[in-house]
Structure 1
Amino acid sequence: MFPIKDINRSRSFPLVNLLIILICSAVWLHQVSLDEEEMNLFIYHYGLVPVDILYRPYTLITHMFLHGSWLHIIGNMWFLWVFGDNVEDRLGRLRYLVFYLLSGLGAALLQTIVSFLFGGADVPMVGASGAISGVLGAYLWLFPHARILALVPIFIFLTFVEVPAVLFIGLWILIQVFNGILTLPFAHGGGVAWFAHIGGFGVGYLLVRFFYRKGWYYL
């Protein structure tokens, strides 16, 4: 399933969410302006390489704003656009920014642990997926019954279907867990950082209740 939009109107303008999307997009445009050697150096310098984490701790943050392909950034930014505005609306702008970064940190730490245990600790990790997974966890906790208009494959056809957020996001996290376990023996070769998705989702789902106070409004 791929989300088209959520049927869940936000009460405020998602300033921080939009800024994150713009920053990630600007960094990606810079990346594609580099030649292959420069691109590799850029990714190794600002991407998260677990074995170098003590020497370059800033990569715990910077890796969230890098991406590996057009499909990678478009998919990530679309998910953030669909789900992030409502979470920012409920948390407030400053709290949403802190929440987003903490979700990304949690995602990075779990993926780092897995990399050390199963291999791949020298492979750079890039992408906003972990932090966005935290946003999905928060959305599930805040709006379990919101409707998501999704593009769903039915046999050989693609169909637009409205599904509750609990079903859409629930299936999404099950896929992450299944793929994470399935590909664990091959983690040393890189690929999708499934455990970053799982870690970010778990942190976001647990953390959101400490950032959200019902009936409170924030700037």
Structure 2
Amino acid sequence: MTDFRPSRFQILPTVVKNLIIINSLIVLATFVLGKAGIDIADYCGLHYWRSHYFKPWQFLTHMFLHGSYNDVNGTIVHLFSNMFALWMFGSILENLWGPKRFLIFYLVCGLGAAVLHLGVVAYEFKAIEHAFMAYQQDPGVNQFDLFLKQHVNLRGGNPLSVQLYRINEIWQNDPSASLGRESVSAINQYLFGTTYQQMYLPGIYDEATVGASGAVFGILFAFGYLFPNTLLYLYFLVPIKAKYVVGAYALFELYAGIRNSAGDNIAHFAHLGGMLVAFILLKIWNKTNRNHFY
């Protein structure tokens, strides 16, 4: 049985403590800047590389954002859940590995999660782009309706997606209307965004991903990998071994990511990416230091 209690166990070790402080301060800054009309996610959230918002530093900075100034409750819940898990499992790992190795592990898991997430996003957008190219060859009322059913949803009340459905409604009521060119333009705006009355309306390429969940899922995996038989208490009552909790999380994230249901704005493959990178790192570290993993 592995003993993860070093001689000087810290309940709130240095890196975990500072990560919690930094993430909390940035959430506070999100609300303060939001009141001034500045959305920090436009600059620091992770964007698809074809978005005009994309910057390389977002692979790192997105890990310290947790929502939008327009959604106070959701942002606070997102922050609390991530920071609670970071403290619960990360504190043990930092005490085990030391601050330097723990910080490297945390950041690499977050970066790996971002890379996998963008890869999945690119794959999904490629399907939309191919469907859009095919539609432009033969823009018709039935083809337009099929495109919307397969590739567009009204999640979040995006005005550009609402515009598409308005065009479709008009076209369905009057199939003889010449709306082919208008529909093509509307789809292009839905993808790339547009400027309306001196205000930029973001397209789906401009959607930002924020949160430390990829890195935190890497931490969760590492805990389950190193201490598989440690009991975790579901709802503080039901004891379950850590390896089963991690396995259940991984299966759920895979199922939810593949299902990709409408209204689900959670980056499930980023969570899986964090777990995958954690597994690779643990294998590499264990191989290079067989006698003392930490």
- Give me the TM-score of the superposition, normalised by structure 2: 0.62
- The 1:125/1:86 distance shift into structure 2, 3 A limit, reads same
What pairs with 1:68-79 in structure 2 (closer than 5 Å)?
68=67, 69-79=75-85
Partner of 2:242: 165
Question: 1:190 deviation in Å?
Answer: 7.0
Correspondence 1:143 to 2:227: yes
Name whichever of 61-70 and 13-22 sits farther off.
13-22
The structure with more strand, counted as a fraction of residues: 1
2:270 aligned residue (191, 196, 202) = 196
Question: Who wins on radius of gyration, i.e. which is larger?
Answer: 2
Deviation digits for residues 92-128 of structure 1 (CA, Å, limit 9, x no counterpart): 2101101111100110001101111113543111000
**Paired residues of 1:99 and 1:204 also in contact (CA < 8 A):** yes
Q: Percent identity?
A: 34
- SS for the counterpart of 2:246 is helix
| Counterpart residue identity of residue 120, structure 2 | V
What pairs with 1:127-138 in structure 2 (closer than 5 Å)?
127-138=211-222
Question: 1:211 deviation in Å?
Answer: 3.6
Correspondence 1:178 to 2:255: yes
| Counterpart residue identity of residue 129, structure 1 | S
Question: 1:208 deviation in Å?
Answer: 2.0
Gaps of 5+ in 1: 1-7, 152-158
- Give me the TM-score of the superposition, normalised by structure 1: 0.82
Partner of 2:42: 44
Counterparts of 1:192 and 1:26 in 2: how far apart (Å)?
A: 23
Counterparts of 1:55 and 1:194 in 2: how far apart (Å)?
A: 21
- SS for the counterpart of 2:239 is strand
Counterparts of 2:293 and 2:251 in 1: how far apart (Å)?
A: 32
Counterparts of 2:208 and 2:57 in 1: how far apart (Å)?
A: 13
Partner of 1:208: 282
Partner of 2:15: 16
Gaps of 5+ in 2: 68-74, 126-203
Counterparts of 2:250 and 2:54 in 1: how far apart (Å)?
A: 32
Question: 1:54 deviation in Å?
Answer: 10
Partner of 1:4: none
Partner of 1:65: 64
- SS for the counterpart of 2:33 is coil
Counterparts of 2:205 and 2:120 in 1: how far apart (Å)?
A: 8
Counterparts of 1:63 and 1:33 in 2: how far apart (Å)?
A: 18
Counterparts of 1:43 and 1:112 in 2: how far apart (Å)?
A: 16
- The 1:17/1:85 distance shift into structure 2, 3 A limit, reads same
Question: 1:134 deviation in Å?
Answer: 0.9
CA RMSD of aligned residues (A): 2.3
Partner of 1:3: none
| Counterpart residue identity of residue 204, structure 1 | A
| Counterpart residue identity of residue 56, structure 1 | K
Correspondence 1:108 to 2:121: no
**Paired residues of 1:145 and 1:164 also in contact (CA < 8 A):** yes
**Paired residues of 1:107 and 1:131 also in contact (CA < 8 A):** yes
**Paired residues of 1:136 and 1:204 also in contact (CA < 8 A):** no
**Paired residues of 1:123 and 1:190 also in contact (CA < 8 A):** no
